[in-house]
Amino acid sequence: MYENEPTGADGDRTTARIDETSEESFFEVPRLGHDIRFVFAAVGGGAVRIGREVARHHLKYVETVAINCDLRVQDLEEYDRRVYLGSDWRASVDAGGSPHQGSEIARAAAPALERLFEGSTFVTILASLGGGAGTGALPHVLDAAARSARVLSVFVVKPFKCEGDRRAVADRALARLHFVDSFVEKQERGAGKLQVLDNEAMRAKGRTTAFRDINAHWGRVVAAHIDRAFIAPSEAVLDDFRMAYTPSVDVPLLTPRSEPTRPTPVGPVELPPLGPTAAWEATERPETELTFEIGGAPPGPDLA
């Protein structure tokens, strides 16, 4: 109960509390990482390895998720969440390099995937194509994310040309993404983006690069995208929001102001004659007096 709270004629304080609560909720600033969710999901064995490099950047507010058909995904401590597409009683279950098998496993886990992205705002998906888990599960993960996320970025990793069949499988998987209606709708509205990370382009640069360095390179690319495209703009928008909806409150300052020193009378001083209604009050004042001005209005509620 508040002290000195205004009451109605019947002494009821409920109305005053409701009005105050409504005003505070109207100016409430959304919280990054809570009201505005950032989710990064790595799908497939190759993407999970690259995603570990992304997780090591410790991006602010970002929830990291590993999705794979391999039971060992549950041991990856770099991720906030680890999703094993399978059953614990069948520890050997895996896509086996078959996109069809990976698709069937992900289809069975569709309700869990939808809950994973529920309430998300900015989602980034990284998938490795050419194998069974990433290639087969990506359309289902993409559909679940596109249904919930406000903005969706997708990165797919293509194998080297020397990997032959795997690269051909990746090309076919890319073509099938055009049939994921929820993601296509996101792209048409400008809220979805697809980018291909081609390993062959790294080899074409004419330098010898270790496989782990390629993973680290793609990890830096994805981490930089999340920070530049999602986190930094969100922080800037919320800063503007606070400035726009926070009342301008001047911090009370004590500003000394000197009054002119009253001259000391020299010799006799003649006072004006007193009229019948005039009054004269002798008051002793110091020769120098400092007064203080308090600027601004009293601070309002803290809206930060």
Residue 150 pLDDT > 60: yes
Condensed to tens digits (0 to 9), the pLDDT of residues 46-87 reads 999 999 999 999 999 999 999 998 888 989 999 999 999 876
Are 82 and 73 spatial neighbours (Cβ–Cβ below 8 Å)?
A: yes
pLDDT above 90 for 123:
yes
- Contact partners, residue 126, CB within 8 Å, separation at least 6: 40, 41, 42, 43, 47, 50, 51, 54, 154, 155, 156, 157, 222
Range with the poorest average pLDDT among 7-16, 39-48, 145-154: 7-16
CATH 3.40.109.10 is right for the domain spanning 38-243: no
Q: Report the chain's mean pLDDT, rounded to a whole number.
A: 77
Both structure tokens of 189: 């509205």
Structure-block tokens of residue 184: 């296509």
Using pLDDT thresholds of 50, 70 and 90, give the confidence band for residue 16: very low
Residue scoring higher pLDDT (92 or 212)? 212
Share of the chain above pLDDT 70, in %: 66
Over residues 174-201, the pLDDT tens digits come to 999 999 999 999 999 999 999 999 998 8
